[in-house]
Amino acid sequence: MAHEKTLSELFHDTLKDIYFAEKKILGALSKMAKAAQSEELRAAFEHHEQETEEHVTRLEQVFGEIDQSPRGKTCEAILGIIEEGQEIMKEYKGKPALDAGLLAAAQAVEHYEMSRYGTLKTWAAELGLDEAVKLLDATLAEEKKADETLTKIAQESVNQHAEAA
Ligand SMILES: [Fe+2]
Ligand SMILES: [Fe+2]
């Protein structure tokens, strides 16, 4: 009989994808914090960088829940999103719209994470991995919060600054 790919394999594969992504995001957030002109935006990036370290730790715990050692698998999607953010940093360096561009790039990252964690949480529930559900949900809540904070900063200051110049 042919080897069948099961939901638990898909879960493990997707876990590797987001583990790879979170580690890349750690480096990207640190660069974006340094590049941000607005104090508020920089603080938001730095705060989320700290949370992201915790996301990596939680994922390691989820690997433990399925008796696997933590391993990443190249995630082309996150590499593309981060690459776009780096282009913005280069092209808008010193320009009024830099922060608006950085903020938009960061929101693309958050939305990618939200989609991954949402899916993983649903699969974990279907697989009866209760502890994994809790861990994934804790991170999902922080990704949503980070996205909301960025929206607020965009509306209250960064976008106006980009237009006013
Ligand atoms: Fe994250
Ligand atoms: Fe995030």
Q: Report phi then psi at 135, rounded to 5.
A: -65, -45
* Local confidence band at 3 (pLDDT 50, 70, 90 cut-offs): low
Ligand 2 centroid–CA 40 distance in Å is: 17
Structure tokens at 46: 């730095």
DSSP the chain: -PPPP-HHHHHHHHHHHHHHHHHHHHHHHHHHHHH--SHHHHHHHHHHHHHHHHHHHHHHHHHHHTT--------HHHHHHHHHHHHHHHHTTTSTTHHHHHHHHHHHHHHHHHHHHHHHHHHHHHTT-HHHHHHHHHHHHHHHHHHHHHHHHIIIIIHHHHHH-
The bound ligand whose nearest atom lies closest to the alpha carbon of 109 is 2
Q: The whole model's pTM is what?
A: 0.93
3 alpha carbon – ligand 2 mean position (Å): 35
Measured from the alpha carbon of residue 106, the closest ligand is 2
The tens digit of pLDDT for each residue in 51-99 reads 999 999 999 999 999 999 999 999 999 999 999 999 999 999 999 899 9
